[in-house]
């Protein structure tokens, strides 16, 4: 085939299904035949026009799984026929100061997939080789897609914990990120407290591996964590600074709250809660391509899987609206191969 279908967006939520000419990958890049692409909340950056030039067409999607069908000049470690993934960070440059210090996540010349460069709401995609992730054979493309961003994000946050297995770890928000966070934390051997509003997710949280469920609409979640002995870590996934603020008081000595849910409102914290007890409030931005491979291998070995709703590429605009509605349980994935 010489052409492929893709959904372009311009302005705010202006989707257009277009036919594009296939092109050869440039130096240091490969071309993928896309099999699946997760629909993530961070897609708002492209779809809602939060780009320097919203009038320029962009293809959203940064939870991409596909098969390499062409390799560009200079690429020696990736080959046609390999099934690979591409996450939010589209590949470090290898030469900036952060890369030279081994901090690939904070590379200053790294494209954001589905925003700076075209993503996976398409049948074909060009990707920088340094951003590629090998997909284990034991994970299907539909399941692998959300793990490339949502899964990696919570896995990377949990790797910051300096406590031994058996310590209490809280996961705030049982949604697209949180339902994976509970699984990862449980499979890592931690005692898990799931925090959400209401009781409708209590049974699900227990099935996912939570030892405790805290209804933050009915009780002070920070106080409850203290009753349980204090949290070695809190992974805050719900996009609400107001809901995160009361949790800091529930941290154990030297506990850490890691924020991965991007909220528009601020987190408010008493300075004494940080000083006395040597507690930490930190952010965490996804991870590098090799971190992603670590996450996927762990997910394969410990049977961590996303709960998904699958839709065809032709329904990408509806899939995005479904994700934005908050009604999806819990990740929407485009089955592009179908």
pLDDT digits (tens, 9 = 90+) for 203-227: 999 999 999 999 999 999 999 999 9
Mean pLDDT, the chain, whole residue set: 97
- Measured between alpha carbons, how far is 65 from 146 in angstroms, rounded to an integer? 10
Say if residues 37 and 113 touch (Cβ distance below 8 Å). no
- Residue 48: pLDDT band (50, 70, 90) is very high
pLDDT digits (tens, 9 = 90+) for 102-118: 999 999 999 999 999 99
pLDDT digits (tens, 9 = 90+) for 114-157: 999 999 999 999 999 999 999 999 999 999 999 999 999 999 99
What pLDDT score does 258 carry?
A: 98
- Measured between alpha carbons, how far is 292 from 77 in angstroms, rounded to an integer? 17
Mean of pLDDT values over 300-305? 98
The pTM of this model reads 0.96
Structural domains for the chain: 3-149+287-335 (3.90.180.10), 161-283 (3.40.50.720)
316 sits in which H/E element: helix 316-325
What pLDDT score does 162 carry?
A: 87
What pLDDT score does 37 carry?
A: 98
What pLDDT score does 61 carry?
A: 98
- Measured between alpha carbons, how far is 198 from 185 in angstroms, rounded to an integer? 22
- Residue 1: pLDDT band (50, 70, 90) is confident
Token pair listed for 121? 């709401």
DSSP state of 116: T
Mean of pLDDT values over 14-28? 98
Query: Is residue 7 reached through a cis peptide bond, with omega within 30 degrees of 0 on the bond before it?
Result: no
Nearest residue to 296 (alpha-carbon basis) of 145, 79, 192 = 145
End-to-end CA separation in angstroms for the chain: 16
């Amino acid at each position: 085939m010489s052409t492929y279908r893709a959904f372009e967006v311009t302005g705010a939520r202006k989707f257009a299904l277009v036919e594009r000419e296939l092109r050869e990958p440039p130096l240091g890049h490969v071309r993928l035949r896309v099999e699946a692409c997760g629909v993530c909340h961070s897609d708002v950056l492209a779809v809602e026009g939060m780009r320097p030039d919203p009038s320029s067409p962009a293809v959203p999607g940064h939870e991409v799984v596909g098969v390499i069908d062409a390799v560009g000049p200079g690429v020696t470690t990736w080959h046609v026929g390999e099934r690979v993934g591409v996450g939010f960070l589209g590949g470090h440059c290898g030469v900036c100061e952060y890369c030279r210090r081994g901090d690939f996540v904070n590379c200053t010349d790294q494209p954001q997939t589905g925003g700076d460069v075209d993503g996976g709401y398409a049948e074909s995609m060009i990707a920088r080789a340094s951003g590629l992730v090998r997909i284990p054979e034991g994970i299907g493309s539909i399941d692998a897609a959300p793990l490339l961003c949502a899964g990696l994000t919570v896995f990377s946050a949990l790797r910051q914990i300096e406590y031994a297995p058996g310590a209490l770890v809280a996961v705030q928000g049982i949604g697209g990120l949180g339902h994976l966070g509970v699984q990862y934390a449980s499979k890592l051997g931690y005692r898990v407290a799931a925090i959400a509003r209401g009781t409708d997710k209590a049974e699900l949280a227990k099935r996912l591996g939570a030892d405790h469920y805290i209804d933050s609409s009915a009780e002070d979640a920070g106080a409850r964590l203290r009753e349980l002995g204090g949290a070695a870590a809190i992974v805050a996934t719900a996009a609400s600074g107001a809901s995160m603020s009361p949790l800091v008081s529930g941290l154990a000595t030297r506990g850490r709250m890691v924020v991965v849910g991007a909220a528009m409102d601020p987190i408010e914290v008493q300075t004494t809660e940080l000083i006395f007890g040597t507690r930490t409030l930190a952010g965490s931005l996804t991870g590098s391509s090799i971190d992603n491979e670590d996450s996927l291998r762990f997910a394969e070995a410990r049977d961590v899987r996303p709960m998904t709703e699958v839709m065809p590429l032709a329904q990408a605009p509806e899939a995005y609206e479904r994700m934005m509605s908050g009604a999806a349980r819990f990740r929407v994935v485009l089955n592009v191969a179908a």
